[in-house]
Amino acid sequence: QVQLVESGGGLVQAGGSLRLSCAASGTFFRGNTMGWYRQAPGKQRELVAIISSGGMTNYGDSVKGRFTISRDNAKNTVYLQMNSLKPEDTAVYYCNIRTVTQNSWGQGTQVTVSS
């Protein structure tokens, strides 16, 4: 079983920054992909950014150039640095870890960007 604990959400003004963290614990393969998805009210969950254990990244189009994902494999932790935040970034952000046999989600952390 995998447990994901997220932190770092909150309220910020447009143009501001936030940093999300997600620590994984439990049993999982070292070869995994960790990342962030988000879901705004009335919308489907969408990709924000993912990063493989080898460091390969992929970003959603709406966050490219503003958000940066990174990870510390020794701590089994993934980070999301969010800069130049916009009101449309407001959503619940979910941490995810995926392997060939597992697909686990965190409980979500709220990010609210005021205009």
Alpha carbon 29 to chain centroid, angstroms: 19
- Which sign, positive or negative, has the C-alpha torsion 73, 77, 83, 85? positive
72-93 in b/e form (b: 16+ CB < 10 A) is eeeebbbbbebeebeeebbbbb
Helix (H, G, I), strand (E, B) or coil at 13: strand
- Residue pLDDT, tens place only, 69-80: 999 999 999 999
Q: Which residues, in sequence order, are CB contacts of 87 under 8 Å at separation 6+?
A: 14, 113, 114, 115
Reading the chain (115 residues) residue by residue, the pLDDT tens digits are 899 999 999 999 999 999 999 999 988 888 899 999 999 999 999 999 999 999 999 999 999 999 999 999 999 999 999 999 999 999 999 999 999 989 999 999 999 999 9
Helix (H, G, I), strand (E, B) or coil at 29: coil
pLDDT of residue 28: 82
